[in-house]
Amino acid sequence: MKINENFLKIESSYLFSNIAKRVREYTAANPERAKNIIRLGIGDVTLPLAPACIEAMHKAVDEMSKAETFRGYPPEYGYDFLLNAINDNDYKARGIDFDISEIFVSDGAKSDTGNIGDIFSLDNRVAICDPVYPVYVDTNVMSGRSGDKVDGKWSNIYYMPCLAENDFLPEIPDEKVDIIYLCFPNNPTGMAITKDYLKKWVDYANANKAVILYDSAYEAFVTEDNVPRSIYEIEGAKTCAIEFRSFSKTAGFTGVRCGYTVVPHDLQFDGVELNKFWARRQATKFNGVSYITQRAAEAVYSDEGKKQIKEILAYYQNNAKIIYDGLASCGFKVYGAKNSPYVWLKTPDGMGSWEFFDLLLNELQVVGTPGEGFGPAGEGYFRLTAFGSTENTQKAVERIKNYFSK
Ligand code: PLP
């Protein structure tokens, strides 16, 4: 028996476990001060589900209690009622035409962005933004596509640094890459891509026979007209892109678990439809999302659901503005927030991002996320999230302002 040695290459502690460990240690050493800790670190929502979703779940639970309406295994790719709701609201309403066989309901974007590598050869060059949502890199390491770590970087991964100097947008590669991970609005930088710039990526991918894996988990936060919510708003995307969507941030489903992935029939390489590969992969390794969850997701698209979710999103958007404006007012260089629940800031005085983490925790009892945890180019940056309560967000920003205005 041989183990998968690729796992030996990955650092054992995941970023958020590392943060939790530091907070635990601080709490043990400073139990009184730790009572004031405000967490603006992890990207998890805090408001309850929209009432329309709760109502739909209750109804679905009742259906499960009667033999006539009980449901067993769900269809692997999703119930038609949810596939149609997604198709009508997220695509048809924006002039994008899909058949529901191009949409795959799942338990979330983490699984899908992590699992999609199954359908690609290990012999592909992968391009990944730096900093980045860690799942893209780690899953490529696990499968053996990353090469070895040399000076903090994986040898077979093409890194695309996203820094203040380039508006946190990845530059089009000057060499051939095969699989391109893009995530907009971005986690962790909170920055969005314009339709014009995304068109350049679509053109590159089509010209170079590359595939774009487009993570659109934060599309619900888009406020600006020139920012796409879906890559398929861009002409030519159907022949080069897979899109990942999630109800987690859109509708507070982080604990309910539901998302979906679009693999267009037009997406073909060597005469093969990737849609067929993903369908086969899902049917074999995934057994579908519960009926109760899918009814809740369907309710996101009801009139009531849409109204309620808009209010929830507005609450987080307001928090993002409080953080952005507050930090900007005391001299921080801040980014993101406009189309995103994340504020990305440059650490002051050239401080390291873990050093800044410790300062905020020890002096102000505020927990954020060190940029370095998202990749080498995140060093010197820090992420704060808008998912806390407004009261706590205001308190945390006041503490930071008082400390740094001195
Ligand atoms: N993609 C990005 C960029 C994320 O930041 C997250 C969660 O933080 C996810 C995907 C995970 O989404 P889900 O909850 O649907 O698995």
248 lines ligand 1 (CB under 6 A): yes
Structure tokens at 375: 């990749």
Q: Which of 206, 234, 192 is nearest to 337 (CA)?
A: 192
Could you identify the atom of ligand 1 that is nearest to the CA of residue 253? 14
**Closest C-alpha to ligand 1, atom 2:** 217
- pLDDT for 7 equals 94
Q: Residue 144, exposed/middle/buried by CB under 10 A (0-12, 13-18, 19+)? A: middle
CA 185 to CA 178: how far, in whole Å? 22
CA distance 138 to 134: 6
Question: Atom 5 of ligand 1 has which residue's CA nearest to it?
Answer: 187
Q: Would you state the pLDDT for residue 167? A: 96
**C-alpha span between 306 and 85 (Å, rounded):** 12
189 lines ligand 1 (CB under 6 A): no
Q: Are 98 and 87 in contact (CB under 8 A)?
A: yes
Is the bond leading into 75 cis (omega within 30 degrees of zero)? no
Q: Give me the helix-helix angle, 291-299 and 51-64, nearest 10°.
A: 150
The answer, yes or no, to whether the previous bond of 185 is cis (omega within 30 of 0) is: yes
Q: How far is CA 151 from CA 143, 154, 155, 376, in A?
A: 21, 8, 9, 10
Distance from Cα 109 to the centre of ligand 1, integer Å = 5
Residue with the two structure tokens 């369908």: 279
With a 6 Å cutoff on the Cβ, whether 217 touches ligand 1 is yes
d(CA 155, CA 141): 11
- Predicted local confidence at residue 357, as pLDDT: 97
φ/ψ of 186, rounded to 5, equals -85, 140
- For the stretch 218-229, pLDDT in tens is 999 999 999 999
pLDDT at residue number 13? 66
Q: Which pLDDT value is given to residue 144?
A: 97
pLDDT of residue 16: 82
Residue type, 377: A
pLDDT, residue 345, reads 98
Answer whether 252 contacts ligand 1 (Cβ < 6 A).
no
The confidence score (pLDDT) of residue 11 equals 76
> 43: Cβ below 6 Å to ligand 1?
yes
Q: Find out whether the beta carbon of 107 lies less than 6 Å from any atom of ligand 1.
A: no
Ligand 1 centroid – CA 242 distance (Å): 15
What parts of the chain have a pLDDT lower than 70? Answer: 12-13, 406
